[in-house]
Chains A and B, each alone.
Chain A
């Protein structure tokens, strides 16, 4: 079993829909990253969080440390949000990021 599991693997939605991507992990962590990768593109860090909730524009990230679970939400989704969204956890007392497999999101106009 992978240490970081994301769901769904693929998600297609219509413009304007509310999007939720989930991440579960099985190891002790000091923080969790949500990142975005466009096809053939670089990696952009969206959030780094260790507790609670963070919001940036239409993006919201939450984490529940007890349940070892995080969610990334996108409100009023837009075709330009189409990308792969990756969850990565930073282990306790470590610097290595353990990566999820990513969720490929397609938003149709």
Chain B
């Protein structure tokens, strides 16, 4: 059973470009969470999704950021018109269905660098 997979592991973008980060949850998991870790800071919750539904996006910046978790395929975190302040590590976690308070399993993260 493969763990949570994220790609790419490292992503470099210039200011104004778009960044797409992908997360494939563990097999059988239908709950996905995205977290952001700014340099020298702790992790912060961004968004919680179930298949085809955004449950809570209270941690997402109001502009330029969006997330989806389609019926088929990975969850995508999309950042439009990136700025230097978006440089961070973005972690995805997943948990099984029916028990969203269950332990969350984390992916290796995507390190985004905005030049």
Contacts and interface: CB of A to CB of B under 8 A. Distances in A.
Contacts of A33: 103-104
Interface string B103-115: 1111111010000
Interface residues of A, number: 22
Contact of A43 (B56, B59, B91, B100): B91
The winner among A31, A94, A96, A102 for most chain B CB atoms within 10 A is A96
A102 B100 contact: no
Interface in B37-84: 41-45, 48, 55-56, 59
Contact of B101 (A30, A86, A100, A102): A30
Range, interface on chain B: 20 to 34
Contacts of A102: 42
Nearest to A101: B42
- Secondary structure of the B contact surface, majority rule: strand
A45 B45 contact: no
A30 B100 CA distance: 11
B48 A95 contact: yes
Given A95-B100, A97-B45, A45 B56 contact: no
B101 A90 contact: yes
A95 B109 contact: no
B31 interface: yes
A41 interface: yes
A100 B42 contact: yes
18 contacts: A31-B101, A33-B104, A40-B111, A42-B106, A43-B43, A43-B109, A44-B106, A45-B105, A45-B106, A88-B43, A94-B101, A95-B33, A95-B55, A96-B48, A96-B56, A97-B33, A97-B45, A97-B104
Question: Top 7 closest A-B pairs, CB basis?
Answer: A42-B108, A43-B106, A48-B103, A99-B42, A95-B100, A99-B43, A96-B45
